[in-house]
Amino acid sequence: MEIIRGMHNLRDRHRGCVATIGNFDGVHRGHKALLAQLRARGEALGVPTTLITFEPQPREFFRGREVPARLTRLREKLWLLERVGVDRVICLPFNEKLASMSAQAIVDDLLIRALGVRYLMVGDDFRFGRGREGDFVLLAAAGARHGFDVDRLSTLALGEERVSSTRVRNALASGDLLLAERLLGHRYFISGRVVYGRQLGRQLGVPTANVPLKRYRTALEGVFAVEVSGLGPVRRGVANIGVRPTVDGREPLLEVHLFDFADEIYGRLLTTTFRHKIRDEWKFESVDALKARIDVDIVTAGDFFATERGA
């Protein structure tokens, strides 16, 4: 999959494609349904599939920390998009210049001149351009003038509700990992590099790999049974994700204790998949009380995996 950062890196060879635009946070089943139809149209026309997205997300640019939790960082999103067969991703830096562009300018400069779009598909609630002035009607009119079709994908439902990033966030916030997996079409995971920490876990006899989250907010918090890849065979363990109130933590951190593992792994890129929620993050009266509870959490996580193997 080719990744193109910014409109200034588009070349003549990028003209002629089928395209879609959006945040695609989480790359959930609704996104995957849209991308499957887009890929089918690209194959029929003999042109590549191009996905246009933004970093940061527009609402992060406008609202900063007062935004819903992000499901995927850019690296995670790109990995998921490659898995579903997207040929090219154009990542546009969302800044003052882009925020002030009219919807018509985006159509003319990006979709028509730079990309020569042959077909465009968007979600049923898609809006774009300065003040969110652009919509499906504007896109359809542009397509009629310039000779490309525009479709919008109807909402995909699971049960009585639509599949959406908001619904995934709600499932994760409530600890319902199975519902989140059904909505996403994959298990929820977080990837990141291991950094040096305060060595508190080592002092407690439960060394942890510390992964900074680099998000405005986390989509889930608490203690979980997890599976970790990036170290050879998939390993199991227990993880805390949160601010560590017992030791006066401030910024969200993912701390993973791997069973029967004590290697130095600073700088390694790990993917942590959340399998089962054990409990919420609590503030304990002392570090000793925290240590006693961690021991219980480790046993609980081990029991979960043992039960799963025996199922």
Please provide the DSSP assignment of 121-162 as one string: EEETT--BSGGG-B-HHHHHHHHHHHT-EEEEEPPPEETTEE
- Residue type for 242, please? G
Give strand pairing partners of 4. 90
Tell me what the mean pLDDT of segment 26-39 comes to.
Answer: 95
- Specify the domain boundaries for CATH 2.40.30.30 within the chain: 187-310
Among 100, 9, 7, which Cα is nearest to 52's? 7
71-87 pLDDT, tens digit per residue, is 999 999 999 999 999 99
Give the pLDDT of residue 190: 96
Give the pLDDT of residue 310: 64
Tell me what the mean pLDDT of segment 275-291 comes to.
Answer: 88
57: phi then psi, degrees, rounded to nearest 5? -65, 145
Q: Please state the pTM of the whole predicted model.
A: 0.92
Tell me what the mean pLDDT of segment 43-57 comes to.
Answer: 96
For residues 61-99, one letter each, b for 16 or more C-beta atoms within 10 angstroms of the residue's C-beta and e for the rest, the string is: beeeeebbbbbbbbebbbebbeebebbbbbbbebeeebe
Q: How far apart (Å, rounded) are the C-alpha atoms in residues 220 and 210?
A: 16
The confidence band for 250, taking pLDDT boundaries of 50, 70 and 90, is low
Q: How far apart (Å, rounded) are the C-alpha atoms in residues 101 and 128?
A: 10
107-118 pLDDT, tens digit per residue, is 999 999 999 999
Average pLDDT, the chain: 91
The confidence band for 204, taking pLDDT boundaries of 50, 70 and 90, is low
Among 58, 121, 112, 113, which Cα is nearest to 86's? 121
Q: Please tell me the class of the 187-310 domain.
A: mainly beta
Tell me what the mean pLDDT of segment 267-274 comes to.
Answer: 97
Please list, in sequence order, all residues whose beta carbon lies within 8 angstroms of the beta carbon of residue 225, skipping any fewer than 6 positions away. 236, 237, 238, 275, 276, 278, 300, 301, 304, 305
CATH of 2-162, one of 3.40.50.261, 1.10.3720.10, 3.40.50.620, 3.90.76.10: 3.40.50.620
Pick from 38-52, 152-166, 253-267, 289-303: least confident: 152-166
